[in-house]
A and B are shown apart, each in its own frame.
Chain A
Amino acid sequence: MTRPRPLQTAGRPAEGPLIELTDVRTHFATERGLVRAVDGVTLTIQRGRAVGLVGESGSGKTVLSRSIMGLLPRRGVVRSGSIRFEGTELIDAPRSTLRSLWGREMAMVFQDPMTSLNPLMRVGEQIAEPLRIHLGQSRAEARDTTIRLLTEVRIPSPAERLRQYPYELSGGMRQRVMIAIALACGPTALLADEPTTALDVTVQAQILALLSEERRERNMTLVLVTHDLGVVARHTDEVAVMYGGKVVERAPTAALFRRTRMPYTEALMRSIPTVDDPPHTRLAAIPGRPPDLVEPPPGCRFAARCAYARERCHAEEPSLVASSDDPDHHYACWYPVGTVEPVALRPADPAAVG
């Protein structure tokens, strides 16, 4: 299939920081107290790069991606820190500033394509909407662009799809439509929040390949939120591993896998089964549960589940520091992997439960 050229890539600086996060905190007011979903994240995302945000459920990765977009509930949210997008401060920015960026500069692909498309609107109109409103395209222009976009995301017979409703499409097709919507106005940054979690394994690979390809061709910045380290390894340039609302390890992807420093990252990697394992190998689960984000424990938030934890880990919180041998590799740990002997943690040890 011949692929049309991407719509807009010209006129943008190719390098330099695009999104700069400084001590970003997003807390939710609940009956139990303030949930510190994101609790002090500092991170710079470079233009044109693919950055993975990794962590288990409740680590704060999704809330962080929504914080960058500004797509948070209007009430019950306490935010602080600084989020700069192309130099514009987004925290406390008026809704109108955000709306001028949404769709045009930053776009988002959600996790579940079954619920993220309007069930009562034709697919064509859902893609054409931002084209008409943001780019001022006429009905006919928007139709042509929509067909081009559908072709670009490899949806067969795109002209016929325009008149279909989401329920007439498979999950994979719907996710392609979501990507077409996100790409419609040629955004600078695309935030994909677990874009393949709800899809079949075979379709997952196709969707990720499509996202990577679009990023390269459009020189777009991609923030890929996922719990899957395998996905990160194949599709990102850099990774930030999140735990308990904080970034605990940050490195270029290759370095992260070559020389893992943070015990949590190591535990995540161990929990991935490999084809070399004999049948019926017990999966290496991380014992315990993620920490309570209302009253986080003092010290390292992972200490309760960590095989290397010492007394200091339970008392003092390590900060994110650059590795002595690699200035791009940051980790927050007193006793990084390889410096002390692990202590055996029984998987069902109640004391290990945070």
Chain B
Amino acid sequence: MRYALQRIGQLLVVFVVVTFAVLVAMRLGAGGHRELARRMLGGNVTDQQVDEAVRRYHLDSNYLVQYLYWLKGFVTFDLGYSSANSMSVAKLLAPRFWTTALLGIYAIAVGLLLAVPAAVIQAHRRDSWIDRLGNVASFIGFGVPAIVLGIFLQLAFSLHWHLFPAIGDSIYPWQQFGAHVRNFLLPTLTLAIPQAAIYTRLLRADMVATLQRDFVVLASAKGMPTRRILWRHALRNSLLSIVTSVGTSLGGLLGGAVVVETLFDLDGIGSQMVISVLSRDLFTVQACVAFVVFIVVVVNLVVDLSYSLIDPRVRMARALA
């Protein structure tokens, strides 16, 4: 428990440092604070409106004060005003946040669902044709860029077989479940296949090593069925790399989300961030970055805490630390 609190503290520091750096970077090149306010509001604005913005966002104070006011806004979901969209950032991003978050969760889940059985079977039947096939498949999955894979899936499943829409609609599961699955399946696969390839290779290597350990031989000598040896004894002892990689691959996953959201025309944080950067929509960019950092931090916290769920020795060491 103490360990969890420590980790949360560390990750909060990460969040603050990154969002502060982005705030400074975005506001640095604007000249004076009135110029900055004008840019934030966008378009033609009156001097009165500029004065109001300066007062409201404390633009005449130093960056630290500005940041603290922004942080206060962030925790109360007051994320500022999107000049490009003429609406509040919170309203603009709320649905987009769900699109990206769901895509990320699906990609990791589907990636694991594909990778774990494949890796276990490959390790069990090492050097057989099925292992070789798996190695080739994961090599291809790992090597093909998301944009090529996405277009390929569109060509095959949308244009050729007309199974799924090529241009998606951000429909959420709580709205219409069937339509949600149809719209999210191809984008999810585009993100999940490269993930599955990485996970498979890592887990296969760990499983091969674990299957040679003494306790696995002992499980055989006890007469345990192969299935139990693989799934109950060996798998849990092989999870370290794959769990770590779920955390570290998230950055790449969110990068991939930019491509995938654009390609399938889903309104998400990733595609919005690109648009907002190009239109110098300061508040929106700031909020998008904050969300991305937030997701990365939360997933890494979960990854970190799951080590002690897997291994009692980690639990013990952390309790003593």
Mark contacts of A90-127 with chain B using CB atoms, 8 A cut-off: 1 yes-contact digit, 0 otherwise. Answer: 00000000011111100110101001111111000000
B contact set with A: CB distance below 8 Å: 127, 213-215, 217-225, 228, 232-233, 236-237, 310-313, 316
The B-contacting residues of A in range 119-142, CB under 8 angstroms, are 119-121, 129-130, 133-134
* Residues of A contacting B217 in the complex (Cβ-Cβ under 8 angstroms): 71, 110, 116
Q: List 29 A-B contacts (CB under 8 A).
A: A69-B221, A71-B220, A71-B221, A99-B223, A102-B220, A102-B221, A102-B222, A103-B221, A108-B221, A115-B214, A115-B215, A116-B214, A116-B215, A116-B217, A117-B215, A117-B218, A118-B219, A118-B233, A120-B237, A120-B311, A129-B224, A133-B224, A133-B225, A134-B223, A165-B313, A167-B312, A167-B313, A167-B316, A181-B222
Closest chain B CB from A237 CB (angstroms)? 24
Assembly CA distance A103 to B217 (angstroms): 12
Q: Which residue of B lies closest to A181 (CB)?
A: B222
* Residues of B contacting A108 in the complex (Cβ-Cβ under 8 angstroms): 218, 221
* Residues of B contacting A133 in the complex (Cβ-Cβ under 8 angstroms): 223-225, 228
Assembly CA distance A126 to B312 (angstroms): 15
Q: Determine whether the beta carbon of A119 is less than 8 Å from that of B223.
A: no
Q: Which residue of B lies closest to A166 (CB)?
A: B215
Nearest 6 A-B pairs (CB), nearest first? Answer: A103-B223, A102-B223, A115-B214, A116-B214, A103-B222, A108-B221
The B-contacting residues of A in range 57-114, CB under 8 angstroms, are 69, 71, 75, 99-104, 107-108, 110, 112
For the A-B complex with A103-B224, A133-B225 known, give 11 more contacts whose Cβ atoms are closer than 8 Å: A102-B222, A110-B217, A115-B214, A117-B218, A118-B218, A119-B311, A120-B310, A130-B222, A133-B223, A133-B224, A181-B218
Assembly CA distance A117 to B213 (angstroms): 10
* Residues of A contacting B233 in the complex (Cβ-Cβ under 8 angstroms): 118, 121
Number of A interface residues at 8 Å Cβ cutoff, please give it. Answer: 28
Assembly CA distance A112 to B213 (angstroms): 11
Assembly CA distance A118 to B222 (angstroms): 12
Assembly CA distance A120 to B316 (angstroms): 12
Q: Determine whether the beta carbon of B218 is less than 8 Å from that of A104.
A: no
* Interface residue from B127, B213, B313, B316 paired with A115 (Cβ < 8 Å): B213
- Given known contacts A120-B236, A120-B312, A167-B313, A112 and B221 CB-to-CB distance under 8 angstroms: no
Assembly CA distance A119 to B228 (angstroms): 16
* Residues of A contacting B219 in the complex (Cβ-Cβ under 8 angstroms): 118
Q: Determine whether the beta carbon of B218 is less than 8 Å from that of A110.
A: yes
Q: Determine whether the beta carbon of A116 is less than 8 Å from that of B223.
A: no
Determine which residue in B219, B222, B225, B310 has the highest number of CB atoms from chain A within 10 A of its CB, and name it: B222
Assembly CA distance A120 to B225 (angstroms): 18
Q: Which residue of B lies closest to A116 (CB)?
A: B214
* Residues of B contacting A75 in the complex (Cβ-Cβ under 8 angstroms): 127
Determine which residue in B213, B215, B233, B236 has the highest number of CB atoms from chain A within 10 A of its CB, and name it: B215
Q: Which residue of A lies closest to B236 (CB)?
A: A120
* Residues of A contacting B222 in the complex (Cβ-Cβ under 8 angstroms): 102-103, 107, 129-130, 181
Q: Which residue of B lies closest to A130 (CB)?
A: B222
* Residues of A contacting B220 in the complex (Cβ-Cβ under 8 angstroms): 71, 102
Determine which residue in A107, A118, A165 has the highest number of CB atoms from chain B within 10 A of its CB, and name it: A118
Assembly CA distance A271 to B178 (angstroms): 79
Q: Determine whether the beta carbon of B225 is less than 8 Å from that of A107.
A: no
Closest chain B CB from A277 CB (angstroms)? 36
Q: Which residue of B lies closest to A125 (CB)?
A: B232
Assembly CA distance A130 to B228 (angstroms): 11
* Residues of B contacting A104 in the complex (Cβ-Cβ under 8 angstroms): 223
* Residues of A contacting B215 in the complex (Cβ-Cβ under 8 angstroms): 115-119
Q: Which residue of A lies closest to B221 (CB)?
A: A108
* Residues of A contacting B127 in the complex (Cβ-Cβ under 8 angstroms): 75
Q: Which residue of B lies closest to A100 (CB)?
A: B223
Determine which residue in A104, A119, A120 has the highest number of CB atoms from chain B within 10 A of its CB, and name it: A120
Closest chain A CB from B225 CB (angstroms)? 7
Q: Determine whether the beta carbon of B312 is less than 8 Å from that of A130.
A: no
Closest chain A CB from B3 CB (angstroms)? 18
* Residues of B contacting A167 in the complex (Cβ-Cβ under 8 angstroms): 312-313, 316
